[in-house]
Amino acid sequence: MKTRKLGNGQLEVSALGLGCMGLSFGYGPAVDDKVGIDLIRAAVDQGVTFFDTAEVYGAYTNEELVGKALSPVRDQVVIATKFGFAIDEHGIQTGLNSRPEHIREVAEACLRRLQTDHIDLFYQHRIDPDVPIEDVAGTVKELIAEGKVGHFGLSEAGVDNIRRAHAVQPVTALQSEYSLWWREQEEEIFPILEELGIGFVPFSPLGKGFLTGKMDENTIFAENDFRNKVPRFFEENRKANLAFVELLKRIADEKQATPAQVALAWLLAQQPWIVPIPGTTKRHRLEENIASVSLELSESELAEINAGTSRIEAIGQRYPAAAQKMIDR
């Protein structure tokens, strides 16, 4: 597995990470622990060293799963987790909470669930408008000084908060959605990441599964699959958005690859400091994704993809209205 460096070369990870959320949360029923552990360890065996989780996935169950899976190989991997949500006694999100005392409480709980003495990368999951970002960055800076956290990250943060946070504690990585059907980050976010030397970790690099080419307007999701509530996945929007998949399939056929591999290879070709974290519950999909690291797209192929996507408009918001409001601009 090739490696890449995030945050001015401070944190070296595999060129492709594994987003673990879907093993426990979001995309239908959680997998059995054994299935999840086997998948995560298969990723380690194939060279993946970067694993992404969060307290809110489950809630809590995904961190516990990741902790069980990675504890035997803890010194070989980088674990990223997140704080920033308020969670009630039933495990339900009730809003945002990045107060310093809460960040500390979450850090201690994450360490226990992950069965480790340090968190390699600790992201603020969403910007909390009620807490100055300087207070957030300062608290993580203290945790880093105490050895409980290795690096500071932000998720779905805008330019102003990135700059202000970085002035207090250098930000190693920004995590936000980015893929062929969501390229907004290129306009304002990429320039500041380049300027400040911050790495970029795209989540949903395969468009929450859509860019794999394995679904269409007739696909039925599980009852508790959050895509049922995402406007971009409404039936009529999926039908329109298949234009992205048709473009990927055309390139994939020429390369004897899959649409997913082309979509990931395109992402990897954008910047050397980009590390996508596709998720899956299936071993063969894991292997398919990992193979994308070796797929080289020529300049003409990249130009063809860019020209093709520039003529396609993604239909539908990427989040339901309530979640959309939490995105920092």
Q: Which residues are catalytic, by number?
A: 57
Q: Are 3 and 14 in contact, with CB atoms under 8 Å apart?
A: yes
Residue 293, helix vs strand vs coil? helix
Sign of the dihedral defined by the CA atoms of residues 268, 173, 180, 20, in that order: positive
Cα 59 from Cα 274, distance rounded (Å):
28
Amino acid in position 238: R
Phi, psi of 283, deg, nearest 5: -60, -45
Amino acid in position 37: I
Cα 289 from Cα 260, distance rounded (Å):
7
Amino acid in position 237: N
- Cα torsion 256, 261, 267, 272 to 10°: value is -80
Q: Which residues pair with 11 in a beta bridge?
A: 6
Q: Are 26 and 12 in contact, with CB atoms under 8 Å apart?
A: no
Alpha helices, DSSP H, located in the chain: 33-45, 61-70, 100-114, 133-145, 159-168, 185-196, 235-255, 259-270, 283-291, 299-310, 321-324
For the chain, the first-to-last Cα distance in angstroms comes to 35
Q: Which residues pair with 3 in a beta bridge?
A: 14
Cα 236 from Cα 241, distance rounded (Å):
9
For 263, what's the count of Cα atoms within 13 Å in the CB-facing half-sphere?
Answer: 33
Q: Are 100 and 135 in contact, with CB atoms under 8 Å apart?
A: yes
Residue 132 tokens read as 């100055």
Residue 316 tokens read as 């539908």
